Structure 1
Amino acid sequence: MDDADTAGIYAREIDYLERYVQFGVASGRVISVSFPETAPEDASDTYDLLDRFERYCEGISEEDFADVEVGLTVPTGERKVLETLRQVGYGEQVSVAQLANMTPTLDPDDEQDVITVREALAENPLPVLVPDHRVRDGPSALPPQVEQQLRSLEDL
């Protein structure tokens, strides 16, 4: 079956991270990314994105995952921030203020807009695919150890 038609939970242990990566998929779109210490019993370890993520963690490929179809179910303001963040590529880094400036309709000098950016990062349901580890002074939805390992991998 083509990955575009898949739905389910996919997980694989990633040696570099010393834990699993887990993707939740519905209608061919990734709707969640997490890093559990064990995989659910009903998770499959066969999924193209797992292969790509593993190669990324092994340093074989410089991935930005911008082509992965995602389903963001977050408030509109936060969705705009997360969609903008997907444009920050492998090895690139931005600040919270830069991300606010890059996001249509947000002003980095408006305190409420900066709060929106920080909330979007903290509640990011798709870390790595929406690379909050590339925001140097913002919160991340990744477990702290995973965030540091990904930053190290990308020399951030």
Structure 2
Amino acid sequence: MVSMGTSGVFARAYDELDLAVEVGFAGGRVIAVSFPERVPEDADDDHALLDRIGEYLRGEPDDFADVAVGLTVPTDRRGVLEALREVRYGEEVSVSRLTRLAALDDNDPDDLELVSRSLRGNPIPILIPEHRVQGGPYATPASVHETVRRLEGL
């Protein structure tokens, strides 16, 4: 995994989204991605990951699999999000398929609800690509979700 910095908040506005992308790092790992309307005043805009996100938004394929992430979620949700991280650029899975990829039972309503909660609470969208799951729910704003699905041909 590529560690792309140390600690701090980095953000940049992207015309492709009409929003900014804000990335939080701790110990060289991405711990949060959000989409504020504008770049926060205390955020630095100079980071290699922001460059890559810009290239991705301009159509350059990237699944960000080499970017180190630090998931700060309960263990059961971590398993779902780690399974989701294995879904590559341009691929799409159903909620049922993701449930099975996470070694859960897609016939168990509790397991399906765990997957839904995990998607809704995904702290690192784009890098953990909930947009590759058909039928959501999603942590990203609808406009971001639609843009990145279109970019990946989904």
The answer for the alignment partner of 1:66 in structure 2 is: 65
The answer for the alignment partner of 2:115 in structure 1 is: 117
The size of the alignment, in residue pairs, is: 152
The percentage of counterpart residues that share the same residue type is 51
Deviations, residues 11-61 of structure 1 (Å, cap 9, x unaligned): 0011111110010001000000001001111100111100000000001x2
- Within a 5 Å distance, the mapping from 1:1-156 to structure 2 comes to 4-59=4-59, 61-104=60-103, 106-156=104-154
Amino acid at match of 1:32: A
Amino acid at match of 2:102: T
Q: Distance in 2 between matches of 1:49 and 1:23?
A: 9
Cα contact 2:8–2:25 (8 A) shared by 1: yes
Q: Distance in 1 between matches of 2:120 and 2:45?
A: 27
| Alpha-carbon RMSD | 0.9
Q: Distance in 2 between matches of 1:4 and 1:28?
A: 6
- Using the size of structure 1 for normalisation, the TM-score is 0.95
Amino acid at match of 1:19: L
Which SS does the other structure have where 1:73 is aligned?
A: coil
Which SS does the other structure have where 1:85 is aligned?
A: helix
Amino acid at match of 1:118: S
Which SS does the other structure have where 2:134 is aligned?
A: coil
Q: Distance in 2 between matches of 1:5 and 1:66?
A: 16
Deviations, residues 66-89 of structure 1 (Å, cap 9, x unaligned): 111001011111100000000001
- Using the size of structure 2 for normalisation, the TM-score is 0.96
Q: Distance in 1 between matches of 2:127 and 2:4?
A: 16
